[in-house]
Every structure is written in structure tokens, then in C-alpha cells.
Amino acid sequence: MSPLLSIEGVNKEFQVRGKTVVALDSVNLTVAEGEFVTVVGPSGCGKSTLLNLIVGLLQASSGRILFRNRPINGINPEIGYVTQKDNLLPWRTLVENVELALEIRGIEKGARRQRAMELIERVGLNGFEDHYPHELSGGMRQRANIIRTLIYDPGLILMDEPFGPLDAQTRIVLQDQLLTLWSTTNKTIIFITHDLVEAIALADRVVVMTSRPGKIKCVASVPVPRPRDVYQIHQHPEFLFAHERLWKELRPEVKLAGG
């Protein structure tokens, strides 16, 4: 069975002030349907660049990326992208923001509203349907950002540090809700994070990248069984084993990058 996503020998270079900067070097990775993959690495190693290549915002300098055996040569509407900033439209209510993608696709109002309300309830935002973004907390806005992507049923969801700006308590709550959503929708997710604990808690496999130019240093399966309790996972012996192993790979890269 072919992987959902295949990254084959991908390199990405940028021209900066007349000089060539290599962001990614010989990246190879396959992702299976329904898999949850997290990516960790030091700042500036090309994690976000990799997501931008997958979704089609950037073109690889060499190599290729295949989604369902088709080369990605531009923006792919079958791939959803959840960014660190929620980018909710300030003049639309929560429910209007969530249903936006279906509105753009011409879905009838009643059908799109029903679907939006179902997702809002699933992430515990019922009662806030008519609130505007400025009336919601950061965690609420990010939940809305996630279900706004889920509503149009993309085959692959890319997440670029979506919980990065949030406080520690809110992050854990959203990690738990994301795992519940993932387990009930069977979506394929590639999730970037700087937090190794978060990477292990969420993933089937963790990808560790080197300092720039970004290469894949190792890919490790997470042996912690599912379903997982993110509130207590750090006490699980398999979690401790995975964290120690992955930190040994990640630590020298972080030191090389200077942070």
C-alpha cells in the first residue's frame, strides 16, 4: 500500500543577499494514512519550510513530494494547514469562522451550520457560538482554528506549533482534545513542535531534525500505548525511555543551533 505522503530527496535553497542558504538537505520521509507524526528540531532547522513545501506554498529546489502518488506542484486543497496564529476573521463570530471553508465551497447554510455546531460542541466551545474572536481566550481561538480546518475534511493536516503561544495548562488541555479528535476522525497529522514532551505524547512517530541545513537525523516510533493520558504520560516508563533516547539525538543539534 502506497503512503499518503512521500518526501523524496527534497532540498530547498533560498537566495539571501546574494548568497545561497540551504534550508533543507536530502529530506526523505513517508507518512501513512491515519498516522500522527511530530517533528522536532532546533530553531531555524527548516521545520516550517518543510510544511510550506508539503502544502505547496513553496517549491523544492530538488527532489519531489508526492501526495496520494501525485506530485505537489502548487497549493493542494486536500491538505489543511493550522498555523501558530489563529487568523480568525475578527468581524465573524465563532460559528461563522468555523463554517467559512464550507461557505466558500458553496455548501448550503443549514448543512454547514450543523457541521460547524457539531465540531464546536466536540471541542467544548458550545455556548460561545456567537462570540467574536476578541471575546475568546487564546486556547478557545486555537480550538476554533483547528476545527475550522477539520470541517472541510482534508486528507492531511499540517500543524505548525499550534499550541506554542499558550500557557502550559491550556496546552495540555488542547493536546488531550486534539488526540480525541484525531482518534475519532482518523486524520493524518504532521505536527511541528519545539516541545519534546508534546512530540512524544501526541505521536505515533517522532522525527528529529538536525540544525541547519535541516536533515532528518532519526525517526523513532513511540512505544506508549493508546489511548494516552497526556496529563500523566510523563510517568509512563515507555515515555521516559523514548524521551531519553530522543533527547540524546536532539540535544547536540540544539546546542549547535545555539538555542
**pLDDT, averaged across the chain:** 93
**Confidence at residue 166, expressed as pLDDT on a 0 to 100 scale:** 87
Tally of structural domains, the chain: 2
- Asked if residue 80 lies in contact with residue 152, where contact means CB atoms within 8 angstroms, the answer is yes
AA letter at 237? P
* Same-domain pairing of 133 and 161: no
Helix axes 138-150, 109-122, angle to 10 degrees: 130
* Same-domain pairing of 96 and 170: no
- Mean pLDDT for 222-246 is 93
**Confidence at residue 257, expressed as pLDDT on a 0 to 100 scale:** 66
Which among 114, 130, 153 is the end of a domain?
153
* Same-domain pairing of 142 and 161: no
pTM for this entry: 0.94
- Asked if residue 198 lies in contact with residue 38, where contact means CB atoms within 8 angstroms, the answer is yes
- Mean pLDDT for 36-48 is 93
Classify 185 as helix, strand or coil.
helix
Residues 6+ apart with CB under 8 A from 1: none
- Mean pLDDT for 113-142 is 94
Instruction: Give the pLDDT band of residue 165 (cuts 50, 70, 90).
Output: confident
- Asked if residue 99 lies in contact with residue 92, where contact means CB atoms within 8 angstroms, the answer is no
* Same-domain pairing of 54 and 98: no
Which among 113, 135, 153 is the end of a domain?
153
Which among 153, 177, 205 is the end of a domain?
153
CA distances from 122 to 28, 40, 80, 119, 125 (A): 35, 28, 19, 5, 8
* Same-domain pairing of 41 and 74: yes
**Confidence at residue 234, expressed as pLDDT on a 0 to 100 scale:** 87
